Amino acid sequence: MESVSKTTGKVLIFSAPSGSGKTTLVQYVLGEFASLSFSVSCTTRAPRGEEKHGKDYYFLSVEEFKRRIEQEEFVEFEEVYTDKFYGTLKSEVERIWKQGKVVVFDVDVKGGIALKKYFGSKALSVFVLPPSIEELRRRLLLRGTDDHSTIGTRVEKAAEELQYQDAFDFKLHNTELSVAKEEIKEKISEFLNS
């Protein structure tokens, strides 16, 4: 059991190319550790599938997102694709810390690097690696949420993002999900108790 004093002010950052299994692993660790709480990011993209405002993301208009940028309300933000913004509100981090919990981020690679820079040693940054680019493409196709053109763009972006893996504290190879779950559980336990 991790002590509250050791977890105060800490953050866990999960980043990966789209389709690497990052969100599945984030959901797993949230179920395994009571001291973790998910940071709901803001985005200007449309909801996918069953996603809910305030649970999966805060879905904002481009205008609202830009207004919040001007008011310096974000810890980090990124325009991932044209008019497709993602960002982390300072108020969301404070909300979780006030509960005495560790903030868990599920962000893109640039966001992960920015968050690690911002939080420094209070952060454990994890880069989730897919088995291969071919497997990544297969997973994105199976997901069924994007057209072929969008998948092509995501795969190209993934190849670029893989070049940044060394900027993260821990590289998690998600070849076999059960193995990846055990590895990340052990790594988080070490971090929470340090």
**What pLDDT, in 10s, does the model give residues 150-166?**
888 888 988 899 999 99
- The answer to whether the annotation marks 47 as part of a ligand binding site is no
Is residue 115 within 8 Å of residue 105, measured between CB atoms? yes
9 annotated among ligand-binding-site residues: no
Query: Which residue, 52, 55, 45, is CA-closest to 92?
Result: 55
Three-state secondary structure readout of 59-110: ECCHHHHHHHHHCCCEEEEEEEECCEEEEEEHHHHHHHHHCCCEEEEEECHH
Neighbouring C-alpha atoms within 13 Å toward the C-beta of 122: 16
Is 116 flagged in the annotation as binding? Answer: no
Q: Which residues of the chain have pLDDT under 70?
A: 1-7
121 a known binding residue?
A: no
The pLDDT, as a whole number, for residue 6 is 56
Cα 106 vs. chain centroid, distance in angstroms?
1
Residue 194 known to bind ligand: no
Q: Report whether 130 belongs to an annotated binding site.
A: no
- pLDDT given at position 10: 96
Domains of the chain: 4-192 (3.40.50.300)
CA-CA distance, 1 to 9, in Å (whole number)?
A: 17
Instruction: Give the residue ranges of DSSP H helices in the chain.
Output: 4-7, 22-32, 62-70, 90-98, 109-119, 133-143, 148-161, 177-192
Predicted local distance difference test score (pLDDT) of residue 168: 98
Distances (CA, A) of 27 to 8, 30, 56, 73: 21, 5, 11, 26
144 is in an annotated binding site: no
